[in-house]
Structure formats: structure tokens, C-alpha cells
Structure 1
């Protein structure tokens, strides 16, 4: 399975379970792996034969900077839903969201949620881990 990676996109948002997270906001780091067949674009050299990653970035930005959610799990799910809905060439997506400023009384660098979502009949079992 071919893929396009968008790594370490940084946004400021108001997601979190605690009132102070919703009031003050914080930085989030999002990475995506978009699964699709890149053969047609490799042969044609035409943007219409792949996924426009500038448009994908904008889809992610709208979710991250839009209405606040309590859980990173929900934010990741919304990103997966939006991107898959808007880009029919995609067979699947992996979303990773990192919260570097975790309100935990202890030493922790960050918390990260990762999820994969596939279209019905997608090739989840055929891809190899990088």
C-alpha cells in the first residue's frame, strides 16, 4: 500500500477534558498517513490522480481549530471522518495527535493518540508497517 505522510502539523486548539484546557487552549501536533494507490499519479504527473495534501491540511486545521472536544480520541475520529469524506481516492488513514502539555502532575513528555480508519473493502491487511 502506498502512502503520503503529513508529519508534525502544529495547531492551537481548545480540546481537553478540563475547564482550564478549554479556557486557555494549548498546542497539538498532528501527523497523518494517507493510504492510496500512487501509481496513477506516478505515471501521469497530474494532481488529479492523487490527493492534494494542501487540501488535507486545511481539513485538519478546521477540525483542530474548530469546536472543542473533550477527548483526543474524538478529535482523531473527526479528522479521519472529514479527510476520508472529502478525498475519495483515499483507501484509509492513520491519524496521530500529540498533546505536548499534558495536565498531569508528573514528568511526561506528551500523550499521543493514534488510530487507523479504512473504507469498507479497504486494504488494511495488505499494507506493511514503516
Structure 2
């Protein structure tokens, strides 16, 4: 098995429970870890593996179209769509961070992590 990781992708989203979050939007960060079977590596050819460019574009498309309430829902949508990109994918992990959360307190971000 080997892994493809894309770290700290940044997007502007309209995800959240509160109307302000859906109206104004906010910045989120996403990490993606994909575990694949080594059998996929045949030669030095991009068609023998999974293109991380394709993964990034798929996540960008999902985030732009989404207005779900929960980060968990967004993560599950991402996992489902990434798995469709290649049948050699063994697991997908998504971490999503919200940088501005309507909570009275001092912290950098909140984060969810889902692996399937």
C-alpha cells in the first residue's frame, strides 16, 4: 500500500449551521490522505496511478457546489467522490478545518477527521 497526501488545500465555502456562514462564507482548509494498493504502480506513467491534480479539482468542485450545514457531511461527500476516481483506492481520510467559527473563545480553528 502507498499513500497520496494533499495538505492544507484552501477554499472559500458557504458551509455552516448559521445563516451568516451561508451568506458571507468562510475559509476552510482540507487535508486528503488516500491509501492505494501498490499493484496500481506499473511504470513511470501517470495513468498507472491516481492523479493528485484530479483529486484537487474534484474537491474544489464539491466545495464550490456545497452549502451543507456540517463539515462531516462535506467530508463524507468528498470521500464518496474521491473513491469513484480509482478502483485501487483502499481508504480515504479527510480532515477539514474551519478557521473562523462563531464561538466566543481563543483558538486557531476547529477540525473534523473522517476516514473510510
Q: TM-score range by the shorter chain?
A: over 0.9
CA distance in 2, matches of 1:87, 1:39: 12
Partner of 1:108: 107
| TM-score (norm. length: structure 1) | 0.84
Structure 1 runs (4+) deviating above 3 angstroms are: none
Aligned residue for 1:104, secondary structure, equals coil
* CA-CA distance at 1:67 after TM superposition: 2.5
Partner of 1:27: 27
Any stretches of 5+ residues in structure 1 without a counterpart? 118-130
* CA-CA distance at 1:106 after TM superposition: 1.1
Partner of 1:120: none
Aligned residue for 2:66, secondary structure, equals coil
Post-superposition CA distance 1:1-45 (Å, at most 9, x none) = 31010000000010000000000000010000010024543x511
Root mean square deviation, CA, Å: 1.2
* CA-CA distance at 1:48 after TM superposition: 1.4
How many residue pairs get matched? 116
| TM-score (norm. length: structure 2) | 0.94
Alignment of 1:61-100 (within 5 A): 61-100=60-99
